[in-house]
Amino acid sequence: MGFNTALFLQLVWAGLTAGALYAVVAFGFCLVYYTSRVLHFAHGAVVILLSYVIYTLVTSGGLWWPIAALVAVPIGVLLGATIELAVYRPVRRRARHGDLPAQALFMASLGIGLMIVNVIPLVYGTSPKFLPGGILANAILVWHDQVALSYIGLVAIPASIALIFALMLWLRVTPTGKTIRAVIDNPETSRIVGLNVERTNLVALCLGSALATGGAIFLIASRGADSQANNLMIVIIAVALIGGIGSLEGVLVAAFLVGLASNVALLWLPTSLGDSVIYVFLLLVITFRPKGLFGHITAKRA
Amino acid sequence: MLAVAYDLIFGHTGLFSAASIAFYASGAYLAAIVFDRVTHQFIVGAMAGFAGAYFLGWLVGRISLHLMGDYLVIATLGVHFLIIAVVTNWPSVTGGTEGMSSIPRPQFGHVVLTSNPEMLVLTVCLLMAVVVVAWKIVGAPYGRLLHAVRDESTAVAALGHDPARIKRNIFALSAAISGLAGVIYATYITYIDPSSFLIDPLILIVAMVIIGGAGTIAGPLLGSVIVFLTPEFLRAVKLADGTTSSFIQNALFGGLLVVLVIVRPQGLVPEPLIERLRGMRNQLPRLADAVVADSDALVTAIPRSVETRMRIREAGPIVEIRNLSKSFGGNCVVDDVSLTLRSGRVTSIIGPNGAGKTTLLSCICGSVRPDRGSVRVGGDEIARLPAHKAVEHGVARTFQDARLFGRMTARENIQVGFPRMHGLNVLSVLARGGAVRHESADIERMAEELLDWVSLGHLGNHEARNLSGGQRMLTALLRTIATGSSVILLDEPTAGVAPNVIPKITQFIRTLSDLGHTVCLIEHRMELVEDLSDWVIVMNEGKIALEGTASEAMASEELQRIYFGDDVSAEIVAK
């Protein structure tokens, strides 16, 4: 049998590409999760919605795909702002009166996600949508012409790393970025020191949703815009937890780790079990190391 | 059925789990496998589904219920996907992605229910059975305990009940009911495959519970009616056809869920109805009543029955604490502390903030596990036992912030304190209903008597969260002594209490020690300490700085130096 290097490399490439997608989406998710402490389950739905938006802009609007992506960014930001202002903020306000059931914010976020994911097929039908033709679908062949490095991967992998590093730099250097980091660390103290935590939550959600556009582009290019793909969110949550709560660098590492693990595992497992590796990993991390790889905010225990 | 099962863990116990569908699927598959390989008899398959799901639920509970909030959701979500993945990839047993078909309709002996109306009858019967079980559980003291775990699980442990075990049991039961629902689904559709069990219906279940009203019995039923009749209604009115109707249904309920969380999280069941069902009053106690009653500062004479229960017959146990130490991180908070608590005596622990008093108390009663040292009560070593086990040995504590179960009435709070009730065992509740009701009535009476003793009898039906600081503390004290423990540890029993209630509390504590209890309290109010204490222990920086009788301690220079620092105490001495 021997070790099939070509297959291994192919899977590594697939893993890195997937990792790039997860990294961008998870980073946006974590921004929201760490600042406003809400499991923003609707994030996945936002990404999917944006991928449909891009699809529409390209097919009906005739825009070149990078332009479509740029146009989609403010749409994403608007979406995020709406969610924060129309839903999360009022729910948080109610939470202070103390009569909400457990996990009310998460339920609201589930509701939003459910709404979005079910309205899309009413408009677009249920089959996944892909970008027409396009160079993104091609690949270059290496390794004795046995391994195909897809163009999408060639773009996505460095782009995602660059994007995240740029964001982390921004967080470290700019005043808004520092405010966000302060709120991530301790919202109570931030409030006392005079930082506007409410506005920071809004900024985080908008930023996260803007990042969702990046995710949307990778998504539509690699898997197509598919409202029936319902396990993106759990993978993102797994990435966030494995990376570690509170650590944005950890998210980057975890995203690629998860992408690689679930793809390289296909050397030994059948295709449909690939994602199971992620779930097992997630459960292991939650049980034995809730801090994740790099995190520094521990899980609360009953 | 799924909604009722979910409400048991969500509405009543406060656990947000995402695993319901997984248990539903497990029940369905287990039954299908049994029908395929063993027998077509419905009862066998149903029991397999029910028991299998119960076991699975217990297992999942064991590994994930200690997680709070977000983590529990995530873990259970992971469980869901994992179980579906297992099912999908085990073709030899579960048929993999093809699923299992030709599942027989329910068969009892030689009778097969083939038509849909017959299935409906069966389903409704089973649903009724489930509802009755849920109703009984929630109405019994067990239901109260679930609510208590939801509201303040640390207080539950301090009263002698193990919150972890309670959560596991109700979770397993909920899983079993979900499994049963799965069995019905399998026999109704006669075909199951992994795509029947996506995660999306979970949101519908949550929506059903919220829309109807969490924490009630009627709520999930109402919610499920609304959720499931709506698409039929839409179809009837020709607003939607077959394929799009499920999307519309989901989108609609997603939206409704969001709106309800913002606007009316209690759901649609109207509140006055709930309250009347629970015999509860939700207004704030009338101010006039409060003033009149609380100004009666002296405790009325102890009712006979209370005294009989509370009096310790022989000299109670002596609590010996030796070399107790506890550090948090690098911080040594309790440093090699040894002391003895004797029965019939009030021992006060005083000292500046951060001296380690509360941690010491927590170590003694088991809320916190000491690193080193021993705590012996009447010869039994309890240092390493968790809080609820300590209560079994007769050691109970109160909290600085009372920690009452806010949504329960004052009387119900006290009722939770009584130990070893039959009503706390699910099987008893179902099988010995009469005995449980009888016992419940007795305990209710005793709780009333306790409240009357401290002149709070009129507040019995008021929700705990509406009580004043003093009323809360008194209720919490009553709740703790209801456990029957002979060693009572009080953590700042006058914190947050208005001055006019303090004499009442003081007299209460004095009465406890007169009845033979071993009382130890942490206090900051020096007049109270002087008044009450038979023995005073001063702590500073984790160690015992000095101890003695109240007068000795108060007069000592060392005490002044600890509290006020060197310079100031020198001035005081000079004066």
- Per-residue pLDDT averaged across B7-18, rounded? 78
Inter-chain touch A90–B262, beta carbons under 8 Å? yes
Dist CA A13 CA A260 (whole Å):
8
Residue B289 has pLDDT above 60, yes or no: no
CB contact under 8 A, A276 and B265: no
Q: What is chain B's mean pLDDT, rounded? A: 79
What pLDDT, on a 0 to 100 scale, did the predictor assign at position B302?
Answer: 63
Chain A residues touching residue B199 (CB < 8 angstroms): 230-231
User: Average pLDDT for residues B8-24, to the nearest whole number?
Assistant: 80
Q: Are A57 and A216 in contact, with CB atoms under 8 Å apart?
A: no
Q: Is the pLDDT assigned to residue B415 strictly greater than 60?
A: yes
Q: Determine, for residues A101 and B11 on separate chains, whether the beta-carbon distance falls below 8 Å.
A: yes
Mean pLDDT to the nearest integer, B125-153 = 83
Nearest to B78 among A114, A122, A279 (CB): A279
Rg (CA), chain B: 28
Tell me what pLDDT residue A236 has: 86
Instruction: Copy the structure tokens of residue B409.
Output: 């009435």
Residues of A in contact with B89 (CB under 8 A): 270, 272-273, 276
B199 or A106, higher pLDDT = A106
Q: What is the ipTM of this complex?
A: 0.76
Percentage of residues in chain B having pLDDT higher than 70: 86
CATH topology (fold) of B288-574: Rossmann fold (3.40.50)
Mean pLDDT by 10 residues, chain A (302 residues): 71 86 88 83 87 83 77 88 86 71 76 84 77 62 70 81 88 87 84 84 87 83 70 83 80 88 81 77 77 60 32
Under DSSP, the state recorded for B97 is: G
pLDDT of A205 reads 87
Distance from CA of A127 to the nearest CA of B (A): 13
Highest mean pLDDT among B94-103, B258-267, B491-500, B549-558: B491-500
**pLDDT value of residue B273:** 55
The pair of structure tokens assigned to B511 is: 């009465």
Where in chain A are the domains?
A: 27-230
Instruction: List Cα–Cα distances, A223 to A152, B181, B356, in angstroms.
Output: 11, 35, 58
pLDDT range class, residue B311, cuts 50, 70, 90: low
Are the beta carbons of B324 and B340 closer than 8 angstroms? no
Of A106, A107, A272, the CB nearest to B89: A272
Instruction: Give dist(CA B411, CA B147) in Å, integer.
Output: 14
Contact (CB<8Å) B256/A90 = no
Residue to mutate among B81, B248, B269, B465, with most A CBs inside 10 A, is B81
All residues of chain B having their beta carbon less than 8 Å from the beta carbon of residue A39 are 70, 73-74
Over residues B152-191, the pLDDT tens digits come to 888 888 888 888 888 888 888 888 888 888 888 888 877 7
**What is the spatial distance between Cα B417 and Cα B388, in angstroms, rounded to a whole number?**
11
User: Quick check: B299 pLDDT over 70?
Assistant: no
* Phi, psi values for residue B549, rounded to 5°: -70, 170
Local confidence band at B274 (pLDDT 50, 70, 90 cut-offs) = low
Model confidence at B500: pLDDT above 70: yes
**Chain A: closest CA distance from residue B85 (Å):** 6
C-alpha dihedral, A123 to A125 to A127 to A130, nearest 10°: -30
* Separation in Å, CA B7 to CA A36, B2, B244: 27, 9, 29
pLDDT of B293: 47
**B332 touches B542 (CB < 8 A):** yes
pLDDT at B44: 80
Is B202 within 8 Å of B188 (Cβ atoms)?
no
Alpha-carbon dihedral sign for residues A172, A173, A178, A180? negative
The domain segmentation of chain B, as residue ranges, is 2-198, 199-278, 288-574
Q: For residue A39, give how far its alpha carbon lies from the nearest alpha carbon of chain B (Å).
A: 7
Residue A299: its chain B contacts at CB < 8 A?
67-68, 71
List the single range of A45-49, A66-70, B91-95, B323-327 with lowest mean pLDDT: B91-95
Which residues numbered 191-210 in B keep a CB inside 8 Å of some CB on A? 198-200, 203, 206-207, 210
Residues of B in contact with A270 (CB under 8 A): 89
User: Radius of gyration over alpha carbons of chain A, in Å?
Assistant: 19
Alpha-helical (H) ranges within B353-497 are 357-365, 387-392, 410-417, 426-431, 433-453, 469-481
Q: Which of A103-112, B197-206, B341-350 has the highest mean pLDDT?
A: B341-350
A224 contacts A152 by C-beta, under 8 angstroms: no
Closest residue to A299, CB basis, from B15, B68, B257: B68
Nearest to A282 by CA among A245, A250, A225, A235: A235
Report how far residue A161's alpha carbon sits from residue B550's, in angstroms, rounded to the nearest whole number.
68
> Which DSSP string do the residues of A87-148 spell out, in sequence order?
IIHHHHHHHTTT-PPTTHHHHHHHHHHHHHHHHHHHHH-SS-B--SS-GGG-EEEETTTTEE
Q: Do A115 and B69 touch (CB under 8 A)?
A: no
Q: What is the DSSP string of B198-216?
A: -SHHHHHHHHHHHHH-TTS
